[in-house]
Amino acid sequence: MKPLVLHIPGRPPFPLEGAGGAWTVGRSSQNDVVIADASLSRHHARITLKEGLPYLEDLGSLNGTSINGERIKSIHPLHEGDEILLGQVPLNLGPPQHGPRVRIHPDAEASSSAGSLVLPLDRLRAAPTRGVAPGTFRLREVVREIQGLSLELLEDSPPELLLSHLLDRIWTLLRPWRAAVLIQDAKAGLLTVASRGPEGHQPILLAQSLVEAALKRKESVLFNDAGDDPGLASPSLVSSGITSAMVTPLEHRGVVKGLLYLDCRPPRPPFDEEDLRLASTLAHLATAKLEQARMREEALARKKVDQELDLARHIQQGLLPGFPPELEGFEVHGNNLPSRQVSGDLFGWWPRQDGQWLLCLADVSGKGLGPGLLMASMQATLEAWTERDLAVDDLAFRLSRAVARHTDGRRFITAFLALLDPSTGVLTYTNAGHNPGLFIHRGGEVDLLESQGLPIGMLPGNPYGAASLQMWSGDLLALYTDGLTESASPAGEEFGEAALAAFLAERRAEPLLAIDAHLMDELDRHTRGAPYLDDRTILLVRRT
C-alpha cells in the first residue's frame, strides 16, 4: 500500500500505518483520532485497512459522513485525494510530506562547549549582543520573506500548509542541508509535519537533549562543530559530516506547540546567532497562526454548543408551565431562573381526576445538560402519572424506583410533592430530601415543612412519609430550591433560609408576582454582582 496520511484542519497529518490497521474518529477521548468539534458524534467514523487499502465507515453518527460530497451509508473505499466530511469537519486523504523522516535519538544530556549557544526566549527577543557577525544575506530578502509569511497569517489556510511554507522560506534564506518542523500532539506525541532534505537520505536522528531544550526549557540552541559537543550531537550528525545545527521552539505566549530543526554542512558556513534569531522569529510568526487556528476552532465549537444549548433551553422552557391555573380561592405562581442555559430545577401543577391539584418543585443534583435531561424525564413522568390519583408518599416511592432504574446511581432528585384540595383547603405533602417548605400563616408565623424521606432515586425501595395541613385565607406556601438560599455575596456569605423566611413573612400579603420580583431584587442586592452558581426556582401558593 502507498503510504497515506489523514490531513485534519489545525492538526499534524495523521499517518495511516500501524495500530492494527483500524482507527476510530470522534469527539470522545477514547478514539484514536480525537477531534473536539460539536458537529461530530462521540464515536463518529472508523477507517480500516483491508488488504492494504483504506476503507471508511460511519458509526451511526448524527450529522453523517460524506466522501467527495456524497453521504455514505455503508463501508466505502478511500483513495488518495478524497475529500472527507465528518459532520462539518473537512478532512483530506493524501500522501505524506516529502523529505526525510525524523526520529528522536535518546542521547545523553547536553554538555557545554565553546561551539554551542543556548538562548532562552527572553534573551532571544532582546537586542543581539555586540560582536554578532554581520548577516550573510541581504536585509531586503529577509524583509520580503517575513512579509510573505505575515500575509499568510491573514489567509484561511490549513496550519500544516503554513508550516510547510515556513520551511520553504527558511530554505531560501538560510540554505540549510536539512530542515524539519515537528508538532506536539496530545495523543500521538511529537509528529513531523514537514521536512526538507536530500532525496533518499536516511532519517534525521534528532537528539533527545535538543528536543527537551526546545519543548521543556523553551530554549533555542545553536551548536557548531558537533564533534566537539557529543552531548548535543546525534550519531547521524557525526556520520553525515554536519558542522552546524540549531533547534528553536514553536512558541506563542508561553505555550510551546513544537519545534523547528535545521542543520548544515560544507560548503555552507556554520550557522551564527543571527541565523538563530531569524529562524526563531519566523517560527514565532508561524506559531501565531497555529494558535489562531486553535482559537478559531474552539470558538466555532463553543458557538455550536451554545446553539444546541439554546435549543435545549427553549425546549425545556416549553415543558415548564405557562400561566398559572385558575383555582377558586387560591393564587399560584412559579418561576425558574437557570444559572446556565439548561436548568436542573422543575416546578409545575397538574389537575387530577379527583378534583385535587398535584404541585411539585424539584432539584436534580448537578448542573448542565445531564440534570436538564433528567428534569425533563421527571416532568414527563409526573404528567403521565397524574391520572393515577396516587397519594403523594406512594408517588414519591414510585418515582424513586423509576429514576433509579434509568440513572447510574450518581444522580438523584430532591423534591417537594403536594396535593391541594381547593374545595377544602387541605394540603397533603411529602418532602423527599428537599429544603424545608415555608408555610407562612396569615399572622406572619412561619412553619418549616421538613423532609420525610431521602431524595428520589437515592435508595429506591425506602418508604416516604406524608403530612397534611389546613390552609386558611391569607396563608402562604413557599417552595424553593437552594439556589435561592445559597446565593452568596462576594465575601461568600449566603442569603440563607432565615432571611428568606423573614422576607416572605414581611411581604406575605403582596401579589405573588410582586413577591417574586422583589425577592430577586433582594438577592441581587445581597450578591452585589457575584455570579449565581445554581438555578433559582420558587413556587408560591396562597389561599385568598
Q: Radius of gyration over alpha carbons of the chain, in Å?
A: 34
Instruction: Compute the residue count for the chain.
Output: 544
Mean pLDDT of the 284-295 span: 74
Residue 485 vs residues 16, 29, 91, 295: alpha-carbon distances, Å: 56, 38, 50, 38
Residue 25's pLDDT is 93
β-partners of residue 456 are 413
pLDDT tens profile 30-54: 888 888 887 899 899 999 998 888 9
Mean pLDDT: which of 130-134, 298-302, 449-453 is highest? 449-453
Q: How large a percentage of the chain has pLDDT more than 90? A: 36
CA distance 406 to 342: 20
Residue 94's pLDDT is 79
Residue 29 confidence (pLDDT) above 60: yes
Give me the residue label for grid cell 530554505: 171
- pLDDT-derived band at 358 (thresholds 50, 70, 90) equals very high
Is residue 330 a contact partner of residue 420, using CB atoms and an 8 Å limit?
yes
Half-sphere exposure in the Cβ direction for 163 (13 Å, CA)? 31
Q: How far out from the chain centre does Cα 236 lie?
A: 42
How is residue 117 written as a grid cell? 549557544
The sheet carrying 345-351 orders its strands as 345-351, 357-364, 413-421, 426-432, 467-470
Residue 193's pLDDT is 78
Residue 135's pLDDT is 46
CA distance 282 to 256: 15
Stronger pLDDT, 67 or 173, i.e. the higher one: 67
- For the beta carbon of residue 147, count every other beta carbon within 10 angstroms: 10
pLDDT tens profile 175-205: 898 888 888 877 667 878 788 887 656 678 7
CA distance 362 to 105: 61
- 152: alpha, beta or left? (left if phi > 0; alpha if psi -120 to 50): alpha
CA distance 102 to 194: 10
Residue 316's pLDDT is 64
Residue 378's pLDDT is 83
Q: Which residues contact 269 (CB under 8 A, 6 or more apart)?
A: 136
Q: Which of 342, 324, 344 is nearest to 483 (CA)?
A: 344
Residue 129 confidence (pLDDT) above 60: no
CA distance 290 to 196: 20
Residue 114 vs residues 107, 122, 261, 411: alpha-carbon distances, Å: 20, 22, 21, 65
Residue 111 confidence (pLDDT) above 60: no
Residue 227 confidence (pLDDT) above 90: no
Is residue 210 a contact partner of residue 110, using CB atoms and an 8 Å limit?
yes
- pLDDT-derived band at 280 (thresholds 50, 70, 90) equals confident
Residue 128's pLDDT is 53
Stronger pLDDT, 243 or 118, i.e. the higher one: 243
Residue 317 vs residues 348, 369, 502: alpha-carbon distances, Å: 12, 14, 30
Half-sphere exposure in the Cβ direction for 333 (13 Å, CA)? 14
Q: Which phi and psi (to 5°) does residue 244 adopt? A: -155, 145
- For the beta carbon of residue 198, count every other beta carbon within 10 angstroms: 11
Q: How large a percentage of the chain has pLDDT more than 70? A: 78
Residue 108's pLDDT is 41
- pLDDT-derived band at 136 (thresholds 50, 70, 90) equals very low
- Indicate the burial class of 35 (C-beta count within 10 angstroms; 0-12, 13-18, 19 or more): buried
- Indicate the burial class of 140 (C-beta count within 10 angstroms; 0-12, 13-18, 19 or more): exposed
- Candidate from 366-380, 393-407, 463-477 with smallest mean pLDDT: 366-380
Residue 133's pLDDT is 42
Mean pLDDT of the 107-136 span: 52
β-partners of residue 183 are 191, 258
Three-state SS for 170-204 is HHHHHCCCEEEEEEEECCCEEEEEEEECCCCCCCE
Residue 241 confidence (pLDDT) above 70: yes
H/E run at residue 91: strand 89-94
CA distance 217 to 129: 22
pLDDT tens profile 311-340: 666 666 666 787 888 899 999 999 988 877
Q: Which of 190, 242, 228 is nearest to 211 (CA)?
A: 190
- Determine the 3-state secondary structure of 169 from DSSP: helix
Residue 379's pLDDT is 83
For the chain, give the mean pLDDT: 82
**Looking at 121-188, which runs of residues are DSSP E strands?**
178-185
Mean pLDDT of the 52-68 span: 91
β-partners of residue 114 are none
- pLDDT-derived band at 155 (thresholds 50, 70, 90) equals low
Residue 59 confidence (pLDDT) above 80: yes
- Candidate from 145-159, 160-174, 186-200 with smallest mean pLDDT: 145-159
Residue 420's pLDDT is 97
